[in-house]
Structure 1
């Protein structure tokens, strides 16, 4: 491949990515929100488990 072909290929790739960036951003923000929710739920569960263990011990 020549430099011109490589540049053209990179340009087409970047244009393709730009079209999908908004979709990816929406997906990542939704995923991030879900991850935070699950993490907070897990932390709450862990905290409650440690408290119950302390009470029973």
Structure 2
């Protein structure tokens, strides 16, 4: 292998890794958004249940 071949190989490997990392990054961002939504929903439910219990007790 010549130095040019090695360089080309390294570039293709790094490009592949960058694509994989950006996929993972996108996935974790979506997952984080979903978690935030579910947490806020749970908090809203908990708050409303607490209010209704206080009224009825």
Q: Is the structural similarity TM-score above 0.5?
A: yes
Instruction: Give TM-score, length-normalised by structure 2.
Output: 0.68
Larger Rg: 2
Instruction: Give TM-score, length-normalised by structure 1.
Output: 0.68
Structure 1: runs of 5+ lacking an equivalent: none
Q: 1:3 to 1:43 in 2, by over 3 A?
A: farther
Number of matched residues? 57
> Is it true that 1:43 corresponds to 2:50 in the alignment?
no
RMSD: 4.6
Q: Which runs of 4+ in 1 moved over 3 A?
A: 1-19
